[in-house]
Structure 1
Amino acid sequence: MKYMLLMQFSSKDLDIPKVEEWPVEDVRVHVQYMRDLNAELRGTGELVDAQGLAGPETARIVRAGGGVPVVSDGPFAETKEWLAGWWIVDCADEPRAIGIAAEVSAAPGPGGRPLDMPVEVRRIMSEPPVEV
Structure 2
Amino acid sequence: MKYLLLKHYRGNPAPVGDDVPMDRWTPAEIDAHIQYMQDFAVRLEGTGEFVDGQALSPEGTFVRYDGEGRPPVTDGPFAETKDLIAGWMVIDVESYDRALELAGELSAAPGRGGKPLHEWLEVRPFLAHPPTVTD
Q: Does 1:125 align with 2:127?
A: yes
**Higher deviation after alignment, 8-17 or 120-129:** 8-17
Aligned residues: 129
**Higher deviation after alignment, 11-20 or 91-100:** 11-20
- Alpha-carbon separation, structure 2, partners of 1:8 and 1:62: 21
**Runs of 4+, deviation exceeding 4 Å:** none
CA-based RMSD = 1.9
Give the structure 1 partner of residue 2 of structure 2: 2
Q: Whose helix fraction is larger, Structure 1's or Structure 2's? A: 1
CA apart distance, 1:16: 3.1
Give the structure 2 partner of residue 109 of structure 1: 111
Give the structure 2 partner of residue 40 of structure 1: 43
Tell me, yes or no, if the aligned pair for 1:60 and 1:73 is still in contact at 8 Å: yes
Give the structure 1 partner of residue 61 of structure 2: 60
Tell me, yes or no, if the aligned pair for 1:12 and 1:80 is still in contact at 8 Å: no
- Alpha-carbon separation, structure 1, partners of 2:111 and 2:95: 29
CA apart distance, 1:94: 0.4
Unaligned runs of 5+ in 2: none
CA apart distance, 1:130: 3.3
**Higher deviation after alignment, 5-14 or 60-69:** 5-14
SS at match of 2:103: helix
Give the structure 2 partner of residue 23 of structure 1: 26
- TM-score, structure 2 as length reference: 0.84
Identity of counterpart residues, as a percentage?
41
